[in-house]
Amino acid sequence: MQDFIATYTSQRKKLETRKYLLDNITYHLAPLLIASKPAELLTFTTAIKKDVLETWDQIKDRLHPYVTVQEIVRNKASVSILFYIADRLSSILQIPENQHFLRSLGYFGEMDQDTAIQALKQKWLIGTFPHEIGLFLGFPLDDVADFIYFPDKKPLLIGYWKVYHSPEKARRIFREYNEARHAYIRYMLDGNKSEDFLKRMGGNGLKGSSI
């Protein structure tokens, strides 16, 4: 499956910018729309497509019916965007252990998604990449904490994140996410469009709203 996915994604850069963005985004959103992933972080740069920022501005509102979209950082050369399913992210942020962990890293106030995302943005803007974003993306707390506090620790498994605990559970999740991406690729190879996949899969009650 991994070879199949790599072959498909390697062809993406040949697409014109609008199709490139929609294909890239929808491919990465498949685990949110089909599986249980709460969020995805994507970065697009003008080094790949010179008009990527302008094109992103033209298409981003099309995604709001399916996921919540929040730009985290943006400059003249790139934009980093958090895509998420609002109720799933809220559930993660309401877990007491996760709240305690985030507060230990400087997150204050109400631990709702808007406040937490704003704190995340501020940390990134001052020049420190917030590795705790792994929590927002659905990574287990123990793995996120070990990655931050024990950078030399050898992971048991590397996939969507570095796994230090419960590798079999992580493998099941990775398989679920990969199968969702595989389903999207099959859909596209049948001659369909990214927008149609979003409409079809986004109709399963996965509604977000713009911030």
Question: Would you say 178 and 35 are in contact if contact means Cβ atoms under 8 Å apart?
Answer: no
Distance CA 142, CA 135 (A): 10
Q: How would residue 210 be classed by pLDDT, with cut points 50, 70 and 90? A: very low
With 0.85 as the threshold, say if the pTM is over it.
yes
Q: Which residues on adjacent β-strands are paired with residue 140? A: none
pLDDT, one tens digit per residue, over 94-134 is 999 999 999 999 998 888 999 999 999 999 999 889 999 99
Sign of the dihedral through C-alpha 62, 86, 40, 173? negative
Tell me what pLDDT residue 118 has: 95
Q: Which amino acid is located at 145 in the chain?
A: A
Q: Is 121 exposed, middle or buried (0-12, 13-18, 19+ CB in 10 A)?
A: middle
Question: Would you say 98 and 141 are in contact if contact means Cβ atoms under 8 Å apart?
Answer: yes
Sign of the dihedral through C-alpha 174, 182, 49, 68? negative
130 Cβ contact partners less than 8 Å away, ≥ 6 residues apart: 105, 120, 123, 124
Q: Which amino acid is located at 132 in the chain?
A: E
pLDDT, one tens digit per residue, over 157-170 is 999 999 999 999 99
Q: Is 63 exposed, middle or buried (0-12, 13-18, 19+ CB in 10 A)?
A: buried
The answer to whether residue 2 scores a pLDDT higher than 70 is no
The answer to whether residue 207 scores a pLDDT higher than 70 is no
Distance CA 40, CA 32 (A): 8
Strand ordering across the sheet containing 68-74: 39-45, 78-84, 68-74
Tell me what pLDDT residue 7 has: 72
Q: Which residues on adjacent β-strands are paired with residue 78? A: 45
Tell me what pLDDT residue 6 has: 72
